[in-house]
């Protein structure tokens, strides 16, 4: 057996004391602490290689978070079999953490501020001291475009603004809503929260581009427009399957108390590509390449 622990730290406000204290103990615990150092992985594009490929560096770093005067640290832990992976246990730990922070936010108004960082650790069952935790990062890395000069940045932004301005007012409203949720999706780390944001993007864009009454039918029609090659295979069954997988996962994320997604990272990556393709569709009126086959096949699509 292994024990996993997810450490998350938040800013606090309106505390008129600086004493470190345990607010709650157990499998989901909460502490007020002066500081916490957490590791994280970062990746950045540093140049271009021959053939147009981007050179990317991946680094492990630590960030020291300091309270003003205190941080709120929430720790969620669970036991899992040795063959379990962090991908299996993280959704449940995130749900534990999110439930407690939601309770704090409700019962202690204006105390819990923004999330500053989080890190997942594990240790063997026979280890008992806090020095034996091993950090395990499970965040997927996706390399984006890079910009060699300010002119490219300005022209790319201006092009996106023109695309928005050229839309009819109702389409523009839907596109702007989708862009706001896209921004939100990039600011959260929890797979269920990302999934919900991506689904809202699909709903926003489908309300503008598809006329069907049912949300699920509109989203299915949207996915067919966003991924025309996938829609052309197997009489559209793969598009329907994609819609079903995303919708069912969305329902589990919204209605499930533990938000227990199956293969959360794979689902989120497919949802991200669907949301991205939908935004491109409403702004550029063009379809996108299919999501990678390994992601689709991993979800039975």
Distance between CA atoms of residues 218 and 224, nearest Å: 10
Distance between CA atoms of residues 32 and 54, nearest Å: 43
240 confidence band (pLDDT: 50, 70, 90)? very high
pLDDT of res. 95: 85
Query: Hey, what's the torsion of the CAs at 270, 276, 279, 282, to 10 degrees?
Result: -70
Instruction: Give the model confidence (pLDDT) of 138-175 as tens digits.
Output: 776 777 777 778 888 899 899 999 999 999 999 999 99
Distance between CA atoms of residues 61 and 39, nearest Å: 6
Phi then psi dihedrals of residue 113, to 5 deg: -100, -155
pLDDT of res. 38: 95
**Between the CA of residue 175 and those of 30, 122, 153, 206, what are the distances in Å?**
39, 42, 21, 10
pLDDT of residue 85 exceeding 90, the answer is no
- Which of the two residues, 124 and 62, has the higher pLDDT score? 62
**Prediction pTM value:** 0.80
Distance between CA atoms of residues 300 and 245, nearest Å: 9
pLDDT of res. 67: 97
Instruction: Give the model confidence (pLDDT) of 262-289 as tens digits.
Output: 788 899 999 999 999 999 999 999 999 9
Query: Of all residues in the chain, what percent are helix, strand and coil, respectively (each to 5)?
Result: 50, 25, 25
Distance between CA atoms of residues 55 and 187, nearest Å: 25
pLDDT of residue 13 exceeding 60, the answer is yes
Domain boundaries, the chain: 2-135, 150-298
């Amino acid at each position: 057996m292994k024990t996993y622990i997810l450490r998350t730290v938040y800013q606090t406000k309106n505390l008129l004391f600086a004493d470190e204290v345990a607010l709650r103990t157990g499998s989901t615990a909460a502490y007020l602490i002066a500081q916490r150092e957490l590791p994280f992985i970062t990746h950045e594009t540093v140049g271009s290689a021959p053939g147009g490929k981007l050179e990317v560096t991946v680094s492990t770093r630590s960030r020291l978070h300091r309270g003003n005067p205190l941080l709120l640290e929430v720790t969620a832990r669970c036991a899992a079999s040795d063959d379990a992976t962090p991908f299996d246990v993280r959704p449940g730990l995130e749900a534990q953490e999110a439930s407690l922070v939601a309770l704090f936010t409700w019962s202690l108004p204006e105390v819990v501020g923004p999330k500053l960082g989080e890190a997942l650790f594990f240790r063997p069952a026979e280890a008992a001291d806090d020095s034996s935790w091993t950090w395990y990062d499970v965040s997927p890395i996706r390399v984006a475009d890079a910009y060699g000069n300010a002119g490219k940045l300005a022209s790319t932004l201006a092009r996106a603004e023109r695309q928005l301005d050229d839309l009819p007012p109702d389409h523009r409203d839907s596109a702007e809503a989708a862009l706001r949720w896209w921004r939100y999706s990039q600011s959260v780390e929890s797979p269920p929260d990302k999934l919900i944001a991506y689904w809202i993007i699909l709903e926003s864009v489908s309300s503008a581009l598809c006329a069907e009454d049912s949300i699920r039918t509109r989203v299915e029609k949207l996915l067919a427009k966003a991924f025309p090659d996938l829609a052309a295979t197997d009489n559209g069954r793969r598009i329907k399957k994609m819609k079903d997988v995303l919708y069912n996962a969305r329902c589990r994320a919204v209605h499930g108390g533990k938000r227990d997604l199956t293969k959360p990272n794979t689902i989120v990556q497919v949802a991200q590509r669907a949301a991205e393709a939908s935004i491109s569709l409403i702004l550029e009126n063009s379809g996108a390449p299919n999501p990678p086959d390994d992601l689709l096949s991993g979800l039975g699509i």
